[in-house]
Amino acid sequence: MSGYQRIFWRPILVGCLLLSAGWGIASSEDVLNQELNRRQSLAKPLEVALNSSVTLAQQGNLLEAYNSLEKAYSTSLESLQQSALGASIRRKLSDYAAQLAESASKKNHWPEARKRALASLSYDPSNALGRDILTQSDQVMRRGATGSDEINPALTTKFFDRLNDVNQGLEEAKSLRETGQLDAAEKKYEFVLMADPFNQVATEGIRKIYQERALVAEKSRDLSNLERRREVREAWNNIYPKKGGSSGGIATISPMTASPTFALESKMRKTIIPQIDFSGADMDTIRRALNTLSRQYDPDGEKKGINFVVSADLTDAQLVNLKLRQVSLEEVVHYISQIAGVKARINSEIGVVFAPLVEKRPDLIPRTYTVSPSFFKESASDATETTSVGPRGGAGSAATSGESTANKSAQKRLEELGVKFPDGAYAIYNRNTSQLKVANNAEMLDLIGQLISAAEEQTLLIQIGCRLVEINQADLDSLTVNSTLGGSGANLLSAIPVGLSTNSSGSTPGGSTQKGVTAQMNQIQGVGLLPNNTLTSFLQSGILAGTNQASSYALNTLDLGGTIFNGMQFRTFIAAISQKNSA
């Protein structure tokens, strides 16, 4: 090549080299940009999955957030997993798995909790929550493990589900029993025993339910007996019932009316309480609460509610634990009465009164008696009294009239006769009308009535005792023998007269030489003992001496007597008695 040619191609070659270098730089940047775009496109699904999981976790769908993010991460490239985005996703997956493990541990699902804790630590070994859950699950799952087993294979999720049902059933049964719902509590305990037949807590709970039922039944029986006795006393005291017939002889029936407490009972049934929650409440607290609730939820527009009162005699009521929803006020009072061991008495004038099952101070009954003034004989000390005594607890007033003195004399006279006047009881006598007004319990009123009846010599009430006896009548031909033998001097030791002894042959001995023997035979009625009703055929000839040999007889008796052995006297009486055998 010539020099001119070299000079010509040199600039061209230099330009080509420069041009090729420029094109190389431009292609490297494009390749880099393309690689970046490709990596961004590959990482975009992970970013979308991460953001979506955060949103789901905030909405409470933690399991779905974990599953979607874990799926996106596991299908990504290894290069992306090693990137900063991959590290962020691993930390998030570790947190999600630890939270799921904690939730499973709270449900007592320890196999699942252990699995989630291991997954959490596989993504982030430094996760503190995951390590704690794993430690707890290992402590639970290793119970009963044998040999080289890390965990007990019998402790499955199904086992822990059954254990949860047992624990929950025991808690619910205990709550129901404490609130007095014994039937529902017994069903819960039976459900527990179906899952765990050897559960001692459930067995003990059922035993306590039976004991409480027996106690309630005993208290109810005592209350029923008390009410029956009170009804009998009231009916017994009302010995003069009002007649419902007219003068013409046509019976008239008074119109039927509701009981005085019907309005209160209806209102208690209609009053619905949304929620009742008593925890260790005493009767005074319950009274205030029921007064407020009855007014608040009174179905009537006036909102007067129902008045609740606690009797002063009620001192040993049990504390009440009661939780109810949407129940009537009547049911609330019923449950409170059972749990506290009290009686709820409805009074048309007062309201609902909580009183002890057996009242220490029975209700006072007013009654009027017609008594003559002679029943109250004033003593010398009574004549000097000038103040009257009214009902106990009331203030006395100065009085000089005969009536006030008679009032004190009446009550004092009754006390002397054994009548007791509890608090609130009284006795007032009006001499002008001969009326004795008494307020006392039924027992004392009975005693006063008996005292007045005895003093007035009027039999107002006759009590007749009756006993049925079955009698089988039969004539029993039994002989009763009474004998006497006596004398004086040597005759006292004399042997039995020959005429009255028997010989070996069994025949009647020979006649006696004694005088003065008498005999009388009284034949059994309807039965002929003697062929001809004479003693001569019954006794051997000559056994009777002297003029007394002739015999006589009457019904059912034999009388033989006389004097023998120089003054020895004897007498034998034989009677055939007709008896009655009774059962």
553: pLDDT strictly greater than 80: no
CA pair distance 274, 331, nearest whole angstrom: 12
Question: Quick check: 354 pLDDT over 80?
Answer: yes
Residue whose token pair is 């007095």: 180
> Could you tell me how many residues make up the chain?
583
Burial class (CB in 10 A: 0-12, 13-18, 19+), 20: exposed
327 - beta bridge partners?
273
Segment 134-145 shows an average pLDDT of 77
Domain definitions of the chain by residue range: 3-142, 158-214, 262-356, 365-456, 472-582
CATH number of 3-142: 1.25.40
Model confidence band, residue 541 (pLDDT cutoffs 50, 70, 90):
low
Count of helix runs (H) and strand runs (E) in the chain: 15, 14
Mean pLDDT on 216-224: 76
Strands (E), 329-460: 342-347, 351-356, 365-370, 426-430, 435-440
pTM value is 0.30
Tell the CATH topology of 262-356. Answer: Phage tail protein beta-alpha-beta fold (3.55.50)
Which one has a higher pLDDT value, 419 or 31? 419
For 423, what's the count of Cα atoms within 13 Å in the CB-facing half-sphere?
6
Residues contacting residue 486 through CB under 8 Å, at least 6 positions apart: 492, 568, 569, 570
Which tens digits make up the pLDDT trace of 41-85? 777 888 888 888 888 888 888 888 888 888 888 888 777 778 888
The residue that leads in pLDDT, 46 or 493, is 46
Name which of 535, 527, 575 is nearest 553 in CA terms: 535
Distances (CA, A) of 31 to 22, 28, 41, 339, 372: 15, 5, 15, 87, 137
- pLDDT tens digit string along 416-433? 888 988 877 888 888 878
Report how far residue 32's alpha carbon sits from residue 35's, in angstroms, rounded to the nearest whole number.
5
Separation between Cα atoms, residue 368 and residue 428, nearest integer Å: 10
